[in-house]
Amino acid sequence: MAKKIRIIDTTLRDGSHAIRHTYSPEQAGKIAAALAKAGAPTIECGHGDGISGSSCQYGFMKYDEYEVLQAVLDNAGDAKVGILLLPGIGTVEDLKRAHEMGAGLVRVATHVTEADVGEQHIKMARELGMEAIGFLMMSHMEPPEKILEQAKKFESYGASAVYMADSAGAMVPDDAAARVSYLKEHLSLPVGFHAHNNLGLAIGNSLAAVNAGADYIDGTLRGLGAGAGNAPHEVLTAVFHKLGIETGEDLYAIMDAAEDNIPELGVQMIIDKYALSIGYAGVYSSFFLHAKRAADRYGLDARDILIELGRLRTVGGQEDMILDVAYRLAQQKKEK
């Protein structure tokens, strides 16, 4: 029997970072309809930092997040629509509202060592009858044994699957394979992998994860996402079909969804020197645009900011430290 992979499309969530959270309901509905036509099983949408992420710290959405969610729900066809929730940003009340609107999936995202902060959200999602997935961010920062410890917590809360997110795009294929295979050996749940492309390895790492036993893989149309973006959904589908791995998707229709929708957003994902620095330093990919703005403000090279953030082992949720680091580096520069 051929292996089957579930691709969770996060163009309308992680892709939001790349366009500064400006999806209109019309744009989001159009993309959701194209994904549904292609047979995409799951569509995640919302602010790049999850539900209620629209803020001065993470960047404001141009349109109301619930209007965007409604547009996706109205156009998703048979696809399951999901949200991302970061405890401390999104709340149980946000989760309930999304569920009432029709969202059937939540991925509860925590730092790789902090699964316990997601306990109430996983349990509430299951109580509501939603699919609830534990999502461990910055998984490159810890060894497989530590990741398993946290994954077991999600399992005990009732999670239906556990994801490892290479949020910095810092892994190489051996890293992805080692972590996935270790979780598959010791967990009874499906295991997912979320890649970023800062080192140009999003497809390679995703394939290594699948070969190691991953059940779910994330992708975005044209690789739209934070940093240098995510694994391109249409490329993943083509690679998997070429290898005889089932996705349940129409390859041409996924290609068309990417070709017909993403260029009009006016952004192209590339591995520039800043994105490469993120992957090299192991820094959260959504720090990308924040570091650029801080560098312009203080007359610095954004790479110095990113490398210092990596040295300090900063994690998602510490965006406020970007300005602190930039200010300190600027003061040091003046003193020289």
Q: What positions carry a catalytic annotation?
A: 17
Half-sphere exposure of 119 (CA within 13 A, CB side): 8
Annotated binding residue 13: yes
Residue 263 and residue 229: Cα distance in Å, rounded? 15
Identify the bridge partners of residue 7 per DSSP, sorted by sequence position: 217
Annotated binding residue 241: no
CA angle, residues 10, 15, 17, in degrees to nearest 5: 135
Annotated binding residue 121: no
Residue 9 and residue 91: Cα distance in Å, rounded? 23
Annotated binding residue 14: yes
Residue 70 and residue 250: Cα distance in Å, rounded? 25
DSSP letter (8 states) at residue 70 = H
Residue 294 and residue 292: Cα distance in Å, rounded? 5
Q: How far is CA 163 from the centre of its chain?
A: 10
**β-pairing, 6-12 with 191-194?**
unpaired
Binding residues: 13-14, 167, 194, 196, 284
Residues belonging to the binding site for substrate are 13-14, 167, 194, 284
Which residues are known binding-site members for Mn(2+)?
14, 194, 196
